[in-house]
Amino acid sequence: MSLGAMPIHRFGTEEQKQEYLPSLLSGEHLAGFGLTEPEAGSDAGATRTTAHLDGEEWVIDGTKQFITNSGTDITRFVTVTAVTGQREGRKEISTIIVPNGTPGFTVEPAYDKVGWNASDTHPLTLQGVRVPKGNLLGERGSGFRSFLSILDEGRIAISALATGAAEGCLEAAVDYAQQRTVFGAALSTRQNAQFTLARMRARVHTARLAWHHAARLRDAGRPFAEEAAIAKLVSGEAAMDNARDATQIFGGNGFMNEYAVGRHYRDSKILEIGEGTTEVQLLVIARSLGLAG
């Protein structure tokens, strides 16, 4: 919900807030966050989608990919980034609200994903899409910067989600190890299994501390981009590492869909990719250390 509602909450006019937020917050509608493109993933500044003013309307052309909540029956709109001109020799990127059902705005068939199949995800095509001039969200040229700030907050939410996934794997693995008998004794009595479970517990603890710290900074109105990146990095890796270790604890059963760890194994990988890849988090952290490049 936050990726759809937060841009309106943070940067919308009072009229836009009154128009869109009530139904988003009530759950009547969903909204998408249209940043990623085929040639603009981690390098989101490489946006190729364009928008120009024709009288009192924006005319938008381009494509987006991996857009969550963009094609459900209750999706109301997608906020999209688009190049609206040049400013000091650089792309001027703005954000525009595009209601679903607008002529020329096509929600392509959903992706066939490895995991997160409960999450609605589509590519989008915009061909001569016309929306009112007033659908500009925030100041013209501030779209890229605004979306990045939304991602900083979103990384804390993803970190909390990843921590929960890592803990779910731990709980399942502990229960299974206590019940599973190998060579005449419970698997949990074997030191190798104990050490694996102990490392899983340490990852959960570290991940939770990281996102709690980032959240406290954010709530206090203090800079938190670096801490959010650290939390995203640590928790995403914790979820994936714990999913792998839980699957190993389960042995052959870990490869069977009847056990939750199989789903965790499929679902956790996206936590190292979505909301900024592990490599992007490392880049953010490196830049906070004053390492340019």
CATH code assigned at 169: 1.20.140.10
pLDDT for the residue numbered 1: 76
* Per-residue pLDDT tens digits of the chain, which is 293 residues long: 778 899 999 999 999 999 999 999 999 999 999 999 998 877 777 899 999 999 999 999 999 999 999 999 999 999 999 999 988 778 899 999 999 999 999 999 999 999 999 999 999 999 999 999 999 999 998 887 887 888 889 999 999 999 999 999 999 999 999 999 999 999 999 999 999 999 999 999 999 999 999 999 999 999 999 999 999 999 999 999 999 999 999 999 999 989 999 999 999 999 999 888 999 999 999 999 999 76
Q: Looking at the DSSP assignment, which residues form a beta bridge with residue 61?
A: 50
Whether residue 194 sits in one domain with residue 124: no
pLDDT at 168: 97
CA distance 240 to 134: 43
Which residues belong to the active site? 275
Q: Residue 209's pLDDT is what?
A: 98
Inter-residue contact 9 to 90 (CB < 8 Å): no
> Based on the domain organization, do 137 and 158 belong to the same domain?
no
Shared-domain flag, residues 95 and 182 = no
pLDDT of residue 216: 98
- Say yes or no: 117 and 188 in one domain: no
Which residues, in sequence order, are CB contacts of 49 under 8 Å at separation 6+? 37, 60, 61, 62, 63, 64, 80, 81, 82, 83, 126
- Among 91, 118, 141, the domain-final residue is 141
Tokens for 281, please give them. 């988090």
**For residue 276, is it within any domain?**
yes
For 108, the domain range is 2-141
**Residue 82 DSSP label:** E
Residue at which a domain ends, from 125, 141, 157: 141
Residue 87: CB partners within 8 Å, gap ≥ 6?
Answer: 141
Whether 293 is covered by a domain: the verdict is no
CATH number of the domain encompassing residue 61: 2.40.110.10
Domain boundary among 120, 141, 162: 141
Taking every pair of Cα atoms in the chain, the longest distance, rounded to a whole number of angstroms, is 80
151, 282: one domain? yes
Both 131 and 179 in one domain: the answer is no
Structure confidence at residue 293 (pLDDT) = 62
* Residue appearing with tokens 């679902």: 267
Do residues 246 and 170 make contact, with C-beta atoms less than 8 angstroms apart?
Answer: yes
265 shares a domain with 151? yes
CA–CA gap between residue 80 and residue 70 (Å, rounded): 11
> Is 154 found in the same domain as 66?
no
Same structural domain, 150 and 68: no
Query: Is 100 a member of any domain?
Result: yes
How far apart CA 43 and CA 135 sit, in angstroms, is 25
pLDDT score recorded for residue 87? 82
Domain count along the chain = 2
What is the β-pairing status of strands 105-107 and 50-54?
unpaired
Q: Which pLDDT belongs to residue 146? A: 83
Residue 16 covered by a domain: yes
Instruction: Please give the structure tokens belonging to residue 231.
Output: 């939390």
- What is the model's pTM? 0.89
